[in-house]
Amino acid sequence: MTDALAIARELIRCPSVTPADAGALGVLERLLKEAGFEVHRVTFSEPGTADIDNLYARIGSEAPHITFAGHTDVVPPGDEGAWSLGAFSGEVKDGYLYGRGAVDMKGGIACSLAAALAYLRDHGSKPREDGKGSISFLITGDEEDVSINGTVKLLQWAAERGETFDHCVLGEPSNQEVMGDCIKIGRRGSQSGMLVVEGKQGHVAYPHRAANPVPDISRLIVALSDEPLDRGSAQFQPSNLEFTSVDVGNAASNVIPGSARAKFNIRYNDCHTQESLRALVEERLRVACGNRIRAHIDWLPSNSNVFLTKPGPFTDLAVGAIEAVTGRKPELSTTGGTSDARFISSYCPVIEFGLVGQTMHQIDERAAVADIATLTTIYRGILDKYFA
């Protein structure tokens, strides 16, 4: 059961659609305890949200401390009848492991666990010969949903216990096309909001008695979208404001609506903080409104801040381990959506490196068996170099 493919198959067979655990953490707990890890199962809750089970396991008590992070929860399978093999079958066919979570990210967790167990077997169950060094696993069941009772609180819990991390590898599916083509060293922040334009309701036959917000919100959408927020930075592409819906809540064709709303999302880089970004957009709105248009922005709460692990010895170590196995020098990328790395980055430098992500969240999600073997070898190489 220390083989990565076998672990991945057992994890996939646990239908752990958020917030259900369905036994997935129990699989990890058993294997980690057998290997000598001190294992903690911690449940967090909050009014109005589901209770979430999490796992933290560590072997060793001194620095340097490397932690492997991940999540065992998965998105719903969709139409299970559309899958070539069962969504939670964990079956292998034509060189691919099928099942929800094969790529995102039970496969990555299985590889890191198999690599750590193999490393410890070869080193007398100790990270280093001098007795120093620590390996840990930080696993949540709350990444694919609201991310309230998962990694955020697990990190706080660990800090209160005196746990400190030197570096983290998060096994999200970072590779774009082939194994070894990409390491994520940062992510853009995410901020959503609602543009609200106030008008005056009235009959379309008497427009002088009304104030139509539809043309006004159209002008404001163009004004806020057209001018770039920045030109990008050394590690990040330019920030982007994207409107995603416009609504006036009007079912009648002969009534001028009283207000109009437009949802938007901004993916922003390290040229901004959340506060400075909001201030910039608010100022642009003020200018675009002039003295005539009445509009404001309702900002939605966000814990998706921008973060960056600057290139240095740790990223060089990971690049070297990847290149040694694949022959490819991976790109250091900051593209893509959000992940739990945004929380981990407040505690230690973190990189994301996992399987190829082309089928994540899709029907017939699958990972190449050869890629699972490759990723396990890469993780083992990272441990060898880290504790050398």
* Rg from Cα positions in the chain: 24
Instruction: Select from 258, 280, 299 the last residue of a domain.
Output: 299
Residues 124 and 231 reside in one and the same domain: no
Distances (CA, A) of 158 to 145, 152, 344: 22, 10, 12
For residues 212 and 256, is the Cβ–Cβ distance under 8 A?
yes
Pick the catalytic residue from 73, 172, 270, 340. 73
Instruction: Select from 299, 315, 338 the last residue of a domain.
Output: 299
Residues 70 and 105 reside in one and the same domain: yes
DSSP letter, residue 207: G
pLDDT at residue 379 greater than cutoff 70:
yes
DSSP letter, residue 371: H
Residues 30 and 65 reside in one and the same domain: yes
Residues 88 and 105 reside in one and the same domain: yes
The full DSSP string for 81-100 is GGSSS-TT---EETTEEEST
- Helix, strand, coil share of the chain (percent; to 5): 30, 25, 45
Residues 130 and 213 reside in one and the same domain: no
Question: Cβ atoms within 10 A of the Cβ of 148, count?
Answer: 17
Residues 233 and 336 reside in one and the same domain: no
Residues 181 and 196 reside in one and the same domain: no
The pLDDT of 155-181, averaged and rounded, is 97
Predicted confidence band of residue 99 (pLDDT cuts 50, 70, 90): very high
Determine what percent of the chain is predicted with pLDDT higher than 70. Answer: 99
The pLDDT of 334-354, averaged and rounded, is 93
Pick the catalytic residue from 21, 53, 142, 143. 143
CATH number of the domain encompassing residue 143:
3.40.630.10
**Domain of 96?**
4-187+306-386
* Number of domains the chain contains: 2
Residues 266 and 281 reside in one and the same domain: yes
For residues 97 and 27, is the Cβ–Cβ distance under 8 A?
no
Predicted confidence band of residue 207 (pLDDT cuts 50, 70, 90): very high
Q: CA nearest 57: which of 200, 180, 188, 161?
A: 161
The pLDDT of 155-182, averaged and rounded, is 97
Q: Is 352 noted as a catalytic residue in this protein?
A: no
Residues 29 and 151 reside in one and the same domain: yes
Measure the CA–CA gap between 161 and 347, rounded to whole angstroms. Answer: 14
Measure the CA–CA gap between 37 and 33, rounded to whole angstroms. Answer: 5
Q: What does the pLDDT look like over 48-97, one tens digit per residue?
A: 899 999 999 999 999 999 999 999 999 999 999 999 999 999 999 999 99
Residues 196 and 255 reside in one and the same domain: yes
CATH number of the domain encompassing residue 295:
3.30.70.360
Entry pTM: 0.89
Q: CA nearest 46: which of 146, 126, 193, 169?
A: 146
Q: What does the pLDDT look like over 43-62, one tens digit per residue?
A: 999 998 999 999 999 999 99
Determine the distance from the C-alpha atom of residue 88 to the mean position of all C-alpha atoms in its chain, rounded to a whole number: 22
Question: Cβ atoms within 10 A of the Cβ of 316, count?
Answer: 11
Q: How much is the mean pLDDT over the chain?
A: 96
pLDDT at residue 1 greater than cutoff 80:
no
Predicted confidence band of residue 146 (pLDDT cuts 50, 70, 90): confident
For residues 301 and 192, is the Cβ–Cβ distance under 8 A?
no
Residues 267 and 311 reside in one and the same domain: no
Predicted confidence band of residue 2 (pLDDT cuts 50, 70, 90): low
Look at residue 209 and give its three-state secondary structure: helix
Distances (CA, A) of 101 to 12, 150, 280, 299: 6, 17, 39, 33
Predicted confidence band of residue 242 (pLDDT cuts 50, 70, 90): very high
Q: What is the pLDDT of residue 338?
A: 84
Look at residue 196 and give its three-state secondary structure: strand
Amino acid letter, 187? R
Q: Is 365 noted as a catalytic residue in this protein?
A: no
Residues 226 and 359 reside in one and the same domain: no
The pLDDT of 224-252, averaged and rounded, is 95
Q: What does the pLDDT look like over 173-206, one tens digit per residue?
A: 999 999 999 999 999 999 999 999 999 999 999 9
Instruction: Select from 246, 272, 299 the last residue of a domain.
Output: 299
